[in-house]
Structure 1
Amino acid sequence: MDEVAKVREKIDIVALISEYLSLKKAGRNFKTNCPFHNEKTPSFIISPERQIWHCFGCQKGGDCFTFLMDYENLEFIEALRILAKKAGIELSESVFTKTETSKKEKIYNLNRVASEFYHYILTKHPVGKMALSYLLKTRKIDQRLIETFKIGFSSREGRALSNYLVNKKKYSKQDIIDAGISFAREGRVVDFFRSRIMFPLFDQRDNIMGFSGRIIDDKGEISKYVNTKDTPVYHKGTVFFGLNMAKDEIKKTGQAVIVEGEFDVISCFSIGIKNVIALKGTALTEDQATLISRFAQKVTLCLDQDEAGFEAIVRSLPSLEKKGLTTTVILLGEFKDPDDAIKKDPVFFKKAVKNDVGVYDFLIDSFLKKFGNTTSEGKKKIGDSILPLIGGIENQIVKEHYLKILSNTLDTSFENLMLEMEKILKKETSKKTAISAKTARDRTEILEEYLLSLILQSEDVKKSYESSDKILSDYNFKLPSHRKIYDNLSNYFAKYEEFNGKIFSEFIPKEIIPIFDTCFLFPIPKFEEPEKFERELKSVARELRLTFLKNKIKDTNLNLKTKSKEKDGEVIEKLQRELSDLISLLSKS
């Protein structure tokens, strides 16, 4: 057994996935809502016997390695390292040959070296003296927080880091360009970040994905912040600043406070509020909402108190709503952002965090202040602004609650608001690209798959197989793959008394293993009593047999008509007997 197989054998997939998701027992399997797409009904199934998972909504699936790769956005070699450590297996050096070292891993290493360089420049080198003074005196960030967040400084000299990485650390020019640390200019490599406070951007596993660089002197002549360009490990819309530091506190409290800037996060940490992360972008994306939903049930937005901050709240809301996250807003009053509030009145800020308000209450109040409700035009603007957002609320009780509040605010009937909301939502729906419908499968194929699922997932597989076999008799499965799975149950029970999915899979040709896995994992209904399950099993088997007999009768009739024209008496007599037998079987079924 190779090392990869040893790791796979040692890892229990149910235990692994339950570290990330809340699982519920479903017969022989476990189920939960899929973390890779939005769904209300759980279709993500995990099999402890087969040590596999599959989502029947988005069709993703695999083993312990593919789950970790998809969930954590890792390459195989990274997932192998993590799972080997979990399993207590020490991997040999041969597993990590130079050709196997992933591009992602190389970029992570490069970013770590670059971060150490930036941090050294800020804290130990004369070049960083002014930047350090700015952080300590102007921003009131103490040395402890500078160390905690690994803050650094990029030299004004445009090739300091590039030269260090190429000449001292022996990275290739292409490597540092691929990492987004440098770029090519006239045959030379030049530092991407120059004369900026440097904030490393960590993922939740403490890998440095990239950097955010902020200028010291904010005169509006150049961009205040510059982020690493997209690389194989950094994508702006999937990242939060500070998540590596905040994730444990977010899990503990069930709440994530989302702010705009790095200094906002650091200031919150300075007064003991540690469930805080910062957006990288102008609004929360679906990827970010998915990521944060793994740690929190509630998101509290504390964005800048300007038009851009307000628009960011509006644009972020649909993504948060899709993930079923409760969303609230912190009101900062006269302060422009969290950092400003904490510097001037930390007691006020702590109270504001405790007194957060529901996002829809905040929006209704904000639109009311902006447009007023004394004129028909003002009321229309409020309705046009808020109704699409209320229409996106998943919970119908919550939706009705806010429609009633809006009805009172605008002094209009609940029914009128419902009509307007439906009109707006219809318009928005018509703008979306129509999704082509999946090719409909034949009902017989669906029933065959369902029958196999019922048998394979039953408490007593042998009994269920024998019960259905009495009904199916000479039934000929429409799909050969279904026939092979069904027939091999007989072969399996000739050797074994108890059913085990892992052992049974060895009886099946490799090419139909995916079809077996689908049947073995398909989410069947929950049957409270064994009798109800038995009735369902027999009902499906009977329908398949009846359909089979009806089709045979139809084919025999057509054949009989053809032979009647040929006047072949012997064949006609034989077909008539067959037809009579089939009709008799049908009447008894």
Structure 2
Amino acid sequence: MNEVEEIKSRLDIVEVVSSYIPLKQAGSNWKGMSPFKAEKTASFMVSSDKGIWHDFSSGQGGDVFSFVMLMEGMEFREALEILAKKAGLELKPRSQADGQKSKSNTRLYDALEIAMKYYHLTLSKNPEALKYFREKRSLKPETIKAFRLGYSPDTWESLSNYLLKKGFTQSELKDAGLARQKDGRDTVYDLFRSRVMFPIFDSQGRVVGFSARILEENIDSAKYINTPDSSVYHKSSAIYGLLQAKDSIRTLDEVIVVEGNMDVVALANGGQKNVVASSGTALTLEQLRILSRLTKNIKLCFDQDDAGIKATQRVVEMAGEIDAKLMVISYTNAKDPDELITKDSKAWHEAVRLAQYAPDYIFSFAKTKFDVKTALGKKQFANFVLPTVAHLHDEIEKHHYVKKLAQLVDVPEQTLQQKIETGLERKPVTIISAEPEVQSSKPKRQLTRAEKIERITLELMLARLPSRDVLQDIDYENLSDLHKPIFLVLRDNPKANTARLAKLLPKFSDYVKILSLRGEHVYSAESDHDARLEAFTQIYRLKKIVIEKTKRQLTRLIAEAEAVGDQGEVKKLLLSYQALVNEE
């Protein structure tokens, strides 16, 4: 038994799920409100026997790993570590080096956790730092506590000496990004001094680094300094405020991305909880990918200047890789979101409500910047927006904006299309997953009409044995690649239960269990007669789709034969067409 199966055997999925959302027993299954979509009637189902869950409101489902991955916005390996800990299972290191690295990282996490508590305690004893948060920033005590804000004292060695007394080595303090080596000396000094501290957490709630801000605006020092990259902190993937915002992001199905840590804290303080910021870097594809696991609706709120628009354009270019809907929040009469929500919370919430679709925002911005009545202005306008248009992945959407741009600058669409194809080479970004994809009941693409009917038929057959009487009436040759393997195994094993079928279909095991759970939810009250009748109805619908498709093909072939004057072929095709009509 591998580690994944061992964890599944040790953990009851109902216990894991109920640690996130309340569940009530409903027959042999458990039911609760969807954690992914607002709903009034509970439609989230969990089966302890099958070890799977399904959310009818969002169409998502899977095993205990996929649930934790979605709830926590993490990758498979991280979910594996969390669930292994819950199951009391020590994961085997993938190599000796990995084992050593894991032990070393544990020490760094411990040092960073103690440092966070030290800074948080120091804040409570420093009137100037407390005044900065409570009076200048108007932060509530609960906000300061929720974000574990702190203060690093104006000394050179206080934290280092404190941690050294706790048994940490100088090397560990440097590796954690808390201290630096003095030139030519054997001693270290604190990296952060006389600054308010913003701890950065990973998806498991561990402190991985800090962002530190000066108190005095006029001193000759960097406004913010951040923990350098380490074995536990990677600025390209770290997202400030995600730990605190995660629940709100899931509930609202939306995330707001701002530029500064203080913006995140101030907005949360004002009631806008679904806000995060990149950590000391421009928003990266990796950060977007992490956010997209929680929601596909991303609102950007960057500075209202040239740098902000460039950052927005860059994110638009990446957004297609994760299939996200990107909106832009714009505002006036404030230098940043922190100032706006503090001065006028209604204006902030109105700005969020009126957020523009990102490509439209870029077009609107360009209109204020370039005069499209002049030849130079038209050229500048087109060059400004074309990179955004070129990176749109949906061809219909791309055509819409090419047409819009052509009208604005008064040039043929073909000219712009040619410029996109020859002058703006799209650079594809590869997203690499570290672990195999976890099965889901919601395919990555939209199901065809036939596939939807096939899925309904399978749900019925997996939940109600009498409905399998129609197996001999199915046209297996015309089934979709998605469902054909399941139908074939059902045909050869008409009495098999869900557990047996899942074993016979290892690549489809979770999908089969989810279909079964969906079927139980929908068809449990059906009589045997009604279950058979419903199955016959669905098979007839599938047959009709095949006939309609064949008729369309014959119609095209008849037209082609008539065009070349082949009356013999026309007659033959018409007979085939009439046979199909009679079959209907």
Match of 1:368 in 2: 367
**Secondary structure of residue in 2 paired with 1:211:** strand
Q: Tell whether the 8 Å contact from 1:283 to 1:313 is kept in structure 2 after alignment.
A: no
1:224 aligns with 2:220: no
1:294 Cα offset (Å): 0.8
Residues 244-283 of structure 1: per-residue CA shift (max 9 Å, x gap): 1111111111111111111111221122111111122442
Distance 1:230 1:268 in 2: 27
- State how 1:428-467 maps to structure 2 within 5 Å: 428=426, 457-461=485-489
User: Residue 236 and residue 14 in structure 1: after superposition, are their counterparts in 2 closer, same or farther (change >3 A)?
Assistant: farther
Deviation at 1:455, TM superposition (A): 13
| Structure 2: unaligned runs, 5 residues or longer | 21-47, 53-62, 94-98, 431-480, 512-537, 543-584
Whether the 8 Å CA contact 2:502–2:508 is kept in 1: the answer is no
Residue 209 of structure 1: how far off its partner (Å)? 1.5
Report how many aligned residue pairs link the two structures.
427
Counterpart for residue 239 of structure 1? 238
Equivalent pair of 2:226/2:280 in contact (CA under 8 Å): no
Hey, what does 1:327 align to over in structure 2?
Answer: 326
Q: Distance in 2 between matches of 1:183 and 1:340?
A: 35
CA distance in 1, matches of 2:423, 2:3: 57
Task: Tell me if the contact between 1:204 and 1:247 (Cα under 8 Å) persists in the aligned partners.
Answer: no
After superposition, the C-alpha distances for 1:53-97 in whole angstroms (9 at most, x for unaligned) are: xxxxxxxxxx98899899836878x84453452xxx4x389999x
1:150 aligns with 2:152: no
In the alignment, the residues of structure 2 paired with residue 363 and residue 94 of structure 1 have an alpha-carbon distance, to the nearest angstrom, of 48
Aligned to 2:108: 107
Compute the displacement of 1:424 (Å). Answer: 2.5
What is the CA distance between 1:51 and its match in structure 2? Answer: 10
Displacement of 1:195 in angstroms is: 1.4
1:181 aligns with 2:178: yes
Aligned partners of 2:258 and 2:264 also within 8 Å: yes
The verdict on how the C-alpha distance between 1:254 and 1:81 changes in structure 2, with shifts beyond 3 A counting, is closer
- Call closer, same or farther: CA 1:6–1:359 in 2, change over 3 Å: closer
Which structure has the bigger radius of gyration?
Answer: 1
User: 1:141: how far off?
Assistant: 2.0
Deviation at residue 413 of structure 1 after TM alignment: 2.7
User: How far apart in 1 are the matches of 2:91 and 2:405?
Assistant: 66
Are the counterparts in 2 of residues 258 and 276 from structure 1 also a CA contact under 8 Å? yes
Question: 1:323-362 residue pairs with structure 2 within 5 A?
Answer: 323-362=322-361
* Alignment-mate amino acid for residue 273 of structure 2: K
Q: Which amino acid aligns with 1:273?
A: Q
SS of the residue aligned with 2:312? helix
- Aligned-partner Cα distance in 2 for 1:49–1:161: 51
Q: Which runs of 5 or more structure 1 residues have no equivalent in the other structure? A: 21-47, 53-62, 434-452, 466-495, 505-515, 523-527, 533-589
CA contact 1:181–1:191 (8 Å) conserved in 2: yes
- CA shift digits 1:30-56 (9 cap, x unpaired): xxxxxxxxxxxxxxxxxx99999xxxx
Give me the whole-angstrom Cα distance separating, in 2, the residues matched to 1:15 and 1:181. Answer: 38
Partners in 2 of 1:432 and 1:99 — Cα distance? 33
Distance between the aligned counterparts of 2:210 and 2:264, measured in 1? 15
Distance 1:343 1:228 in 2: 29
Task: Give runs of ≥4 in structure 1 deviating > 6 Å.
Answer: 1-5, 12-17, 48-52, 63-71, 92-96, 453-456, 462-465, 496-499, 501-504, 516-522
Alignment of 1:283-432 (within 5 A): 283-425=282-424, 427-428=425-426
1:535 maps to what in 2?
none
Task: Work out the CA distance in 1 between the residues paired with 2:110 and 2:420.
Answer: 52
* Residue type at the aligned position of 1:150: R
Q: CA deviation at 1:295?
A: 0.9
Q: Which residue of 2 aligns with 1:30?
A: none
d(CA) in 2 for partners of 1:222 and 1:72?
36
Provide the C-alpha distance between the structure 2 equivalents of 1:497 and 1:304, rounded to a whole number of angstroms: 58
Distance 1:498 1:293 in 2: 32
1:171 aligns with 2:168: yes
Question: TM-score normalized by structure 2?
Answer: 0.62
State the shift of 1:503 in Å: 7.3
Task: State the Cα distance separating 1:517 from its structure 2 match.
Answer: 7.5
In 1: Cα distance, 2:119 partner to 2:238 partner: 21
Distance of 2:14 and 2:234 partners within structure 1: 30
Relative to structure 1, the CA distance from residue 135 to residue 92 in structure 2 (aligned partners, 3 Å threshold; closer, same or farther) is same
Tell me, in whole angstroms, the C-alpha distance in 2 between the residues paired with 1:315 and 1:401: 20
> Structure 1 residue 423: deviation in Å?
2.1
List aligned pairs for 1:513-552, cutoff 5 A: none
2:131 to 130, 133, 150: 133
When residues 7 and 231 of structure 1 are mapped into structure 2, their CA distance, relative to the original with a 3 A threshold, is same
Shift of 1:157: 0.8
- Preserved CA contact (<8 Å) 2:318 2:429: no
Aligned to 2:124: 123
**In 2 relative to 1, CA 184–354 (structure 1 residues): closer, same or farther, beyond 3 Å?**
same
Structure 1 pair 134–319 and aligned structure 2 pair: CA distance change class (3 A): same
Give the counterpart letter for 2:169 in structure 1. S
What is the DSSP-based 3-state SS (H/G/I as helix, E as strand, rest coil) of the residue aligned with 1:335?
coil
CA RMSD between the two structures: 4.6
SS at match of 1:312: helix
Following the alignment from structure 2 to structure 1, what is the Cα–Cα distance between the partners of residues 101 and 501? 33
Deviation at 1:396, TM superposition (A): 2.2
What residue is the counterpart of 1:568 in the other structure?
none
Cα pair distance change 1:503/1:322, threshold 3 Å: closer
Aligned to 1:447: none
* Alignment CA distance shift 1:498-1:79 (3 Å): closer
Change in Cα spacing, 1:15 to 1:375, as seen in structure 2 (3 Å) is: farther
Structure 2 residue aligned with 1:493:
none
CA 1:12–1:412: 2 relative to 1, 3 Å: farther
Structure scoring higher RCO (CA < 8 A, sep ≥ 6) equals 2
